[in-house]
Amino acid sequence: QAKYLAQIILVGAQVVGRAFMRALRQEFAASRAAADARGRSERPQSAAASRIIGISLQEAQQILNVSNLNPEEIQKNYEHLFKVNDKSVGGSFYLQSKVVRAKERLDEELRIQAKDEKEWKAET
């Protein structure tokens, strides 16, 4: 009786282990495909900035609630969100750091755009 129970448990564990590994491989492949797609949708410099800062341009825009790269709007939203997420007023340090990273990413994108514009004007 115990022998059969041990065999059932062993086979069940093998089935669950295989299913887990298959799911893990699928998740890894989906994550890689999403990263590749995100990298292809951005210009090379912009994609590099996303990798370095660790946040995509779209995510940064969502965090700071800006639809276009308007420096004044970015700064205004940054200051507001930074202030309301300050720990001294009951905010979250994690959210405050996300706001800082989003601002850094948008500032980097503005710098890239300014550089591209300057190069384009120099060519014409």
Q: Which residues of 75-97 are buried (b: 16+ CB within 10 A; e: fewer)?
A: eebbeebbeebeeeeebeeeebe
Tell me the pLDDT tens digit for each residue of 53-97: 678 888 999 999 999 899 999 999 999 999 999 999 999 999 999
C-alpha 87/C-alpha 96 separation (Å) is 9
> How does pLDDT run across 17-57, given as a tens digit for each residue?
999 999 988 888 887 777 666 555 555 666 666 666 678 88
Give domain 42-123's CATH architecture. Answer: Orthogonal Bundle (1.10)
CA distances from 46 to 18, 24, 94 (A): 39, 30, 24
What does the domain layout of the chain look like in residue ranges? 1-41, 42-123
Taking the complete model, does pTM exceed 0.85, yes or no?
Answer: no
Question: Which pLDDT belongs to residue 43?
Answer: 59
86 CB-side CA count, 13 A: 8
Report CA-CA distances (Å) from 104 to 32, 40, 53, 111: 25, 21, 8, 10
Rounded (10°) CA dihedral 10, 13, 15, 17: -140
- pLDDT tens readout for residues 105-117: 999 889 888 888 8
Confidence of residue 13 (pLDDT cuts 50, 70, 90): very high
